[in-house]
Structures are given as C-alpha cells and as structure tokens.
Amino acid sequence: MREEIILDVKDLHVKVEQREILKGLNLRLERGKIYALMGPNGAGKSTLAYAIMGHPRFMASKGSIVFKGEDITELSPSERARRGIFLAFQYPIEIPGITLFNFLRMISNIRDNKNISPIEFSKLLKAKLKLLNLDEDFIRRYLNEGFSGGEKKKSEILQMAIINPELVILDEIDSGLDIDAIKVVSDMIKTIFNENMTILMITHYQRLLDYIKPDSILVIVDGRIVASGGYELIGVIEKEGYNSLEKKKEYERV
C-alpha cells in the first residue's frame, strides 16, 4: 500500500502570550501509523497538540498545517474536527448537565451528518461499551463532571471510539493514571486503532510505550522536532537526556 502523508506541518511558529513556543516545527505523519512525541517540559508538546486542533490562543504566526492535502491553518477547531482530527485532552473539561450519552449521540450525529434516534444509538453504543469493557452507568453521568482521572481519560477514548477519527492526538493520556489504569486505557486505544487512523501520542514517560508500541518516536526540544527514529532513541534519551539530541541536531546542522 502506498504511504499516505495525513498530516504535514511545515515551519510552524506559535506564540503564546508573546513568547514563541514552536519555532519552525516540521512534522510529517503517515496514515495508519502510531507516533510517540516525547520531550522535556516546556518543549512545546501540548502547544503542538493545541495548534493542530486549532485552539484560538495557539494559532500559527508563521508556517502551515496541511491535513489530507488541505491547508487547515486558518480553520476553526470544529472545522478541523469535522475533517477527522481528534484531540484527547490531558485535562478533559467538565460540562455539567449534559449526559455523556447525549453528548456521544450529538458528536456521532455531527460525525455522520445524520440524526440517529436515541434507541438506535443506544444499541450502537452498547456494542462499543462492551468492546471497550466500560460500565453502562458511566454514560448516564454528566460529561466529565466529578469523574476521576481515569474516568476522564476513558471518556476521551470513548468519544474517540464514537467519532473514529483519522488523526488522533493523545495529550498525555497516561498522566495522573496508575499503572493498572494505563493498561486499561492503552487496551482501549489499541482496540480502536485501525489502519485508517494515525495516532500521535504525547507522553513524558516511556511507560506508555510499553503498552502501545509506536512505529516511530519523535523528540521535540525547544519548539522543534530534533530527532525521529525507532526504539533506539529511548536508550539515548535515558542515557543522555533530551538535550543531547538537540545538541546532536545542532551538530548535524553545522
């Protein structure tokens, strides 16, 4: 099968409150692959996630984001979502008064551009819940309200399962989870993953990679991707730290 570039980020600059966080970042992701994005605190991992999703405070000051061959740099978050991009939040937002069930039906309708009846959707959802080993009581609760850290992440993955996006950004899906919960959430993600989907998972910890094996590891330091490669990069990071990769990069550039 021909390799398809699903996301092409070119020379992306993003300023947050006058400070440049992404400094000419380049990134190409292929369809059907899983990428891990690693890097030190403040390197711009979450900024990149927001910038791809189109958060108004993280708009590109320079450069472009091309998704499935279309320049989406100026599109709103919802337009990007409707084209197939999904961001699983590090800190999912609470929406009181809206049940997870109703919300899932709403986003499913948006995704499929139709109006599926609650009964029909209920059947569909039950199958998904079973597949993901989730409790049915879960969906009767208000969206993320009073959810534990683990429940919030499960809510994100359930939304992802309903939307079945083409590009998924997992922003520290492992943060705040104990080892058992990481396994559960990882299993859910692996169940949903398919050859039409690309995953970019942002993480601080190598632990997540034990559960979800990426095809490629990307390293971001100071607003740029400084290295990409296979598992050998993990050894380098463990031994020498992220900055060694950046220095190496600078060295290569010279």
Partner 1 sequence: MKEYRYGFRDPEKYVIKLDKGLSRKTVEEISWLKMEPEWMRKFRLNAYEVFLKKKLPNWGPDLSDLNFDDIVYYIKPSEKKSTSWEEVPEYIKNTFERLGIPEAERKFLAGVSAQYESEMVYHKLKENWEKKGVIFVDTDTAVREYPDLVKEYIGTVVPPSDNKFSALNSAVWSGGSFIYVPEGVSVEIPLQAYFRINSQNMGQFERTLIIAEPGSYVHYIEGCTAPIYSTYSLHSAVVEIIVKRGARVRYTTVQNWSYNVYNLVTKRAVAYDDAVVEWIDGNLGSKVTMKYPSVYMYGKGAKAELLSIAYAGKGQHQDVGGKVIHLAPYTSSRIISKSISKDGGRNSYRGLVYVDPYATEANISVRCDALILDRYSRSDTYPTMRVKNSNVSVSHEASISKIDEEQIFYLESRGLDRDEANALIVRGFIEPISKELPLEYAIELNRLIRLQIKGDIG
* 67 part of the interface to partner 1, by CB under 8 A: no
Choose which of 10, 23, 68, 111 interacts with partner 1 (CB under 8 A): 111
Choose which of 12, 81, 139, 189 interacts with partner 1 (CB under 8 A): 81
Shortest spacing between CB 25 and partner 1, in angstroms: 20
Of 37-45, 103-111, 175-183, 200-208: span binding partner 1 (CB under 8 A): 103-111
Nearest by Cα to 27 from 81, 2, 64: 64
DSSP 8-state assignment for residue 142: B
Shortest spacing between CB 82 and partner 1, in angstroms: 5
Measured CA to CA in angstroms, residue 70 lies from 48, 51, 67, 175 at distances of: 18, 16, 5, 32
CA distance linking residue 198 with residue 167, whole number of Å: 5
Sign of CA dihedral 103, 105, 109, 111: positive
* 121 part of the interface to partner 1, by CB under 8 A: no
- Size of interface with partner 1, in residues (CB under 8 A): 28
- One DSSP character per residue, 189-215 reads HHHH--TT-EEEEE-S-THHHHHS--S
* 149 part of the interface to partner 1, by CB under 8 A: no
* 59 part of the interface to partner 1, by CB under 8 A: no
Choose which of 2, 3, 18, 56 interacts with partner 1 (CB under 8 A): 56
CA distance linking residue 124 with residue 121, whole number of Å: 5
Q: Which residue ranges make up the site for partner 1 (CB under 8 A)? A: 53-56, 76-78, 80-82, 86-87, 89, 92-93, 95-98, 103, 106-107, 110-111, 142-143, 159, 163
